[in-house]
Structure 1
């Protein structure tokens, strides 16, 4: 491995995190999506909010993944109310969030 390859690997690991370089990246799952949905640090959010603050238990989101582009909508919320950075639409994190949305059954809206 030459010095340029080592430097490139180091830079990529720093930018994308160690999981991207370890070869053991997590797989997408609805369970992981639910954890991310409840994580106030999603997308590097700078405030204490998570998706669950506006949508507790996925309230109001049942069927959303079937009618809109869920990745686009998720990133709008991350960059808007969560004040974070959009996540890669092809990432395991995004796939997990979409799987979680797809798993939601009709949750009645409370008053």
Structure 2
């Protein structure tokens, strides 16, 4: 019984961490699109920790589904972080790749 409970906890612990792409990174550039075929924007981050540290993070509009206001706020927050130099955390609700980010937090 203890082994079964341990296995379940180990499996569920991965779900808790799923989607955390980068933490405590600095935005060094923001692009208005990934390419002409996709409504998206791109954030280039420097530093931080996580699978998308020191890389490009893509925010496709489709990742937020019908909640396009979330997409527009993320773009605004990315520009704020770029302008102020504040740190960001970036998350994806769909997977653990740098191609489907949906959530962005700016912080001191």
* TM-score normalised over the length of structure 1: 0.30
Greater relative CO (CA pairs within 8 A, separation 6+) = 1
Higher strand share: 2
Larger radius of gyration: 1
Higher helix share: 1
* TM-score normalised over the length of structure 2: 0.30
